Structure 1
């Protein structure tokens, strides 16, 4: 497992920390992609994990692409057009697919600049919290490329087409206050309050039954592209499954008995 990604766990909450602070935590290196996808698969398979926090080591969240590799045309950025396209499919594009397949709720704790693919990684998360020092930029055009990791799909669904177009076409950055007003993040905190706030939210999420959390996330994701009739049908099927679980029985009993519920994921 690459040391470019740190996995930690506390109870039902897992933390993924991008760990190349000297390079501002790029995510395009193939060994990082492999480690990130593997961790997503591990989390997906572990029913005891109920929430994930993604953050960056050091002063930044993620610079996105590895600029030194771009300059030197190595790794993902080496080869002719067809070879580079294949490397995108085999590399960075696996991250949005892994995140889309991950049924566990994910919080982005954006502790500093989130540029390019780093901005898009935040968009891949379900909830985004930001430090006052966070900066967001869909700045691919500034380095002569386009969003190659799904940003053109993610950003309009987060802040609307017009604002997504503005960020994409200008490459300009927005600060945390603007990100909050645009709905890109849910809340902004002082630097030393970001991770405590992320952990508090993660614990509020993780006290709930894991199967139902995953089903609820699936419904929300499906609702972005499905018809109402399809969502109602999926809701009926999943609701039928929920009513058969021990955790549903425990939740009802705990409410009636005025005590905390203990959920086992069954």
Structure 2
């Protein structure tokens, strides 16, 4: 038994250390302030998604009419979020041909249907907030979380243009360039706090889009656990009643 408990403890320690190992050696991730019950945040995130992301990235597993789960009507979706000539029941695809996308960006932009599950919410939130100007890149942009990224900073008008400052330091006997902060080159349409909130709204929506029924699943899970708890008590007392006269 002690050996079995030791194995469980070792496995648990490995799983607990996974987030730390995933971020080791890379730019530290900031926790994304998400709340999938905040419908206003999800609506703002959906608007940012269709205006800035859906030009190059598709969401082929998502239909526009699923946005009715954000308290939107078909008419509101058609007028405010569906800019193509398509119908509300169609999937979120893009008109750009994959070959053209590869020619423009060097790689085909990934589908964003489940990007929040693939990358993680904290990764996305930090990624959207760490773009900086880099004239050595073809797009003119680089990113601290995803160095040498092929994607330009599509939200730069909101955040403004920033330069990253680095200082030379020594680690393990080798000279490295460590990030020390950002320098604002040109202002954006939003303040720093407003842009952070916009990034949080967008990630909140991407998280919701990866599983639109997650809130329902969690609520249902609570009821299932309550039922199982009550059933366990009932089964325990019934078993005691059956065996009370057995000696």
Name the TM-score class by shorter chain: under 0.3
TM-score (norm: length of structure 2): 0.27
Greater Cα radius of gyration, structure 1 or 2: 2
TM-score (norm: length of structure 1): 0.26
